[in-house]
Amino acid sequence: MENLVSKDEVRRAVAEARAVGQRIALVPTMGALHEGHLSLVRAARERAEYVVVSVFVNPTQFGPGEDFEAYPRDLEGDLELLEAEGVALVFAPATSTMYAPGATVTVDSGPLGDVLEGAIRPTHFRGVCTVVAKLFGIVEPDLAFFGEKDFQQLAIVRTMVSDLDLPVRVVGCPTIRESDGLAMSSRNVYLSPDERAAATVLYRALRAAEARAGAGERDARVLVEAMRAEIAAEPLVVPDYAEVADAVTLAPLDALDGPPARALVAARLGSTRLIDNLALEVG
């Protein structure tokens, strides 16, 4: 496994792999890897001969007062995990490599980036789109793998690829959960024991909406209220939102009567902010 920090070295290595007919896959990460990330790597290895994983804590997707400096970092541990998974190349650049001094051009996330997470973190998805577009330009992958846990991010990256005619196929992979349902996240390490126990309410809230939809409930307001009631019963959790939205446009739904629907929640536990989501189907 190669561990590279130079854009030119990455381009050369990928070009050599492509020259011998290998398909290129990219798994973008911010490191502090867990089983959720590794599931993306395994999915990539099933679809491509040459897998690149980027490890880069991207400063432009963190807003003022967010946890950029405190975000967990463990490059040595990440490299050990990725070598064991058979990754061909790890790209772990410095911030100065990814963002040249004086760089001013960014990639706007469009209207999908203004709702849900974007309403609370106004510059977040611009930073995501900019760094993902840069990674696509450096690696030029045939396939790129993202987790459904960050569902809005996945939807925005797919839209960016479509709208900008980028030659990469975006593959979404299922959320990986702990045994009690909590979605795996690098930020889970911030949680105190009491907060960790309380955090499972997010999945319970999503399952409450899923159960009602499965029983035939079509009124999205009923599903939203079910999620809010579940979260309100947990005193350590401060909700940011609970929504039922169109899975493609992310527009709020009044009823589950056509387009694929997604239940999405976000909440704070102490200083930690977590998100989760689940597909909804009417039974």
List, by residue number, the catalytic residues: 37
In Å, how far from its chain's centre is CA 16? 29
b/e sequence 212-249, b meaning 16+ C-beta within 10 Å = bbeeebebbeebbebbbebbeebebbebbbbbbbebee
- Nearest of 274, 253, 271, 272 to residue 262 by alpha carbon: 253
Contact predicate 198/231, CB 8 Å: no
> Please, which residues have CB within 8 angstroms of residue 213's CB and are 6 or more apart in sequence?
223, 256, 261, 280, 281, 282, 283
Do 109 and 130 meet the contact criterion of CB atoms below 8 Å apart? no
d(CA 46, CA 198): 36
Question: What values do phi and psi take at 47, rounded to 5?
Answer: -110, -15
Element (H, E) at 169: strand 169-173
d(CA 231, CA 32): 28
d(CA 210, CA 147): 20
